[in-house]
Amino acid sequence: MKKKIAFMFVLLSFGLLFVTACNKPEAAGGQSLAVNGKAKYVFLFIGDGMSMAQINAAEVYSTARQSSDIEVTRLRFTQFPVSGLTTTHDAGTFITDSASAGTAIASGKKTLSGVINMDPGRTQNFKNLAQYASESGRKVGLVTTVTLNHATPASFYGSVPSRGDLYDLGVQLANSNIDYIAGGALAQRRGKNGDKQDAIEIAVSNGFTYVDTRAGFNALQPGVGKVIKVNEVLQDSEAMPYDIDRKSGDLSLADLTRKGIELLDNPKGFFMMVEAGKIDWAGHANDAGANINDVLALDAAIAVALDFANRHPRETLIVITGDHETGGMTIGFAGTQYDTFFDRIALQTKSYVAFDEEVLKPYKARVNQSNARLDDLLPAIRESFGIDFNSLTAVQKQEVEFAFQRSMGNQQVRSFAEDKYLLYGGYEPLTIKLTQIMNQTAGIGWTSFAHTGVPVPTFASGIHQEIFGGYYDNTDIFFKLASAMNIKVN
């Protein structure tokens, strides 16, 4: 009799396990998701334009600047216990942009490039994860190194038919339930023509505290309410500076993340999206030095989240992904064959933007074209990129001189626009030629000045980390995060 009861108990147990498994929710790709318990605190880190080449380059560089050993110094997030691979195509192309990729991650829906949280017909708005998180009682924070209404952060509070509708996005942010947003400026806050009501004024009238100084940032305390923080130091297109250009004492991505935790922490938890947006911008310009340093800055911000997770190990989930790859970066260049010399990247002290703004632009303003001489800039070139012009090959010297003449507007070397794009991506010819030489001598190659369609890696650590393993679409990240947070998606 006892054996019969035990056997029936085993059968019943297996039956319950089967029913439980069959009733688990599924991601868009059909993967079963865990539902036991919930992630009270969720960090989503997005390296804009970041795939494995950018990550591995940062790891190789981290070793090369310290020793000649053939190994990689692992980043914090590549040591996470779970990793997956994520496809990035959108509704119209295999090579997505940040608007459609951001929409996929934030709302679980596919749309067209340039569209934020709307269907391809641009008639239906999508509900995003930040809205769901806010409705669940969690506070919501967004951090970025680019402008606050750029495509990725905007995907977590806005819906527009075109990512270029910056003023509309600014107004939507001003009317949102975002508790903390920090990064670059709010672009076109008074509209394209400067004739509309200031979106920051609208935000302040809706209860936001606006801060644009370091002192004001330091003074922010829990209980302050909703916050818009604009970095005191701005660079290209009103974004935060590249980390390679960040001065001592200037705020970093890690600083903004740390303050976000301080302000958002509460008994009901929070959701925070942190974007390293200028990994993408450096990729567009094929600037490996700026790119690598911003990946390392992202890893430093992740360290802040890990420190928090160590204090809340049973309630915290940290996920890292990219929205797409930018530049077609690879470790390997034909000119160096099987060799790499990543220690040479450490000689670069300025991004392409800083060189333009601090060296080339002032020179062009004060020197007449007919009097311009490349020799005048050689000391600054050596200081900024570690390039000794006299040590270059004859071909490289010719290419640098040619690019210098193009930057100075010499009519004799001016070419068709498409030729200039293929050679320099529409950037300053001299600056891009210098970064190209830096890349090539280090053994780094690029295929494009735009995005590519390769998958991106996704890493996870914490409660429900296991559901982020495997090969899945970027829309699945939304469903996985919602499931981990025990949020029912409408």
* Contact in structure between 406 and 425 (CB atoms under 8 Å): no
Q: Are 174 and 227 in contact (CB under 8 A)?
A: no
Distance between CA atoms of 136 and 128, rounded to whole angstroms?
13
Instruction: Residue 53: name the closest of 477, 413, 439 by CA.
Output: 439
pLDDT per residue rounded down to tens, the chain (490 residues) = 444 444 443 343 434 333 333 334 444 444 444 446 899 999 999 999 999 999 999 999 999 998 888 889 999 999 999 999 999 999 999 999 999 999 999 999 999 999 999 999 999 999 999 999 999 999 999 999 999 999 999 999 999 999 999 999 999 999 999 999 999 999 999 999 999 999 999 999 999 999 999 999 999 999 999 999 999 999 999 999 999 999 999 999 999 999 999 999 999 999 999 999 999 999 999 999 999 999 999 999 999 999 999 999 999 999 999 999 999 999 999 999 999 999 999 999 999 999 999 999 999 999 998 899 999 999 999 999 999 999 999 999 999 999 999 999 875 555 556 677 899 999 999 999 999 999 999 999 999 999 999 999 999 999 999 999 999 999 999 999 999 999 999 8
pLDDT at 2: 42
CA 429 to chain centre: 26
Position 416 scores a pLDDT of 55
Cβ pair 420, 429 in contact under 8 A: yes
Supply φ then ψ for residue 122, to 5 degrees. 60, 40
Confidence at residue 420, expressed as pLDDT on a 0 to 100 scale: 77
| Three-state DSSP class for residue 26 | strand
Say how many Å lie between the first and final Cα of the chain, rounded. 49
What per-residue confidence (pLDDT) applies to 203?
98
What six digits make up the tokens of 398?
A: 């010719």
Q: Are 88 and 77 in contact (CB under 8 A)?
A: no
**How does DSSP assign 384-433, residue by residue?**
HH---GGGS-HHHHHHHHHHHHHHTT-GGG---HHHHHHHHTTS-HHHHH
CB within 8 A of 310, min separation 6: which ones?
none
Q: For the chain, what percentages of helix, strand and coil (3-state, to nearest 5) are there? A: 45, 15, 40
Side-chain-facing half-sphere of 324: CA atoms under 13 Å: 29
Rounded CA-CA distance 50/278 in Å is: 10
- CA pair distance 154, 166, nearest whole angstrom: 9
Give, in order, the Cα–Cα distances in Å from 57 to each of 138, 330, 427.
Answer: 36, 8, 23
Give the integer Cα–Cα distance in Å for 318 and 272: 10
pLDDT the model gives residue 415: 55
Altogether, the residues listed in the chain come to a count of 490
The torsion defined by the Cα of 442, 443, 446 and 447, in degrees rounded to 10, comes to: 160
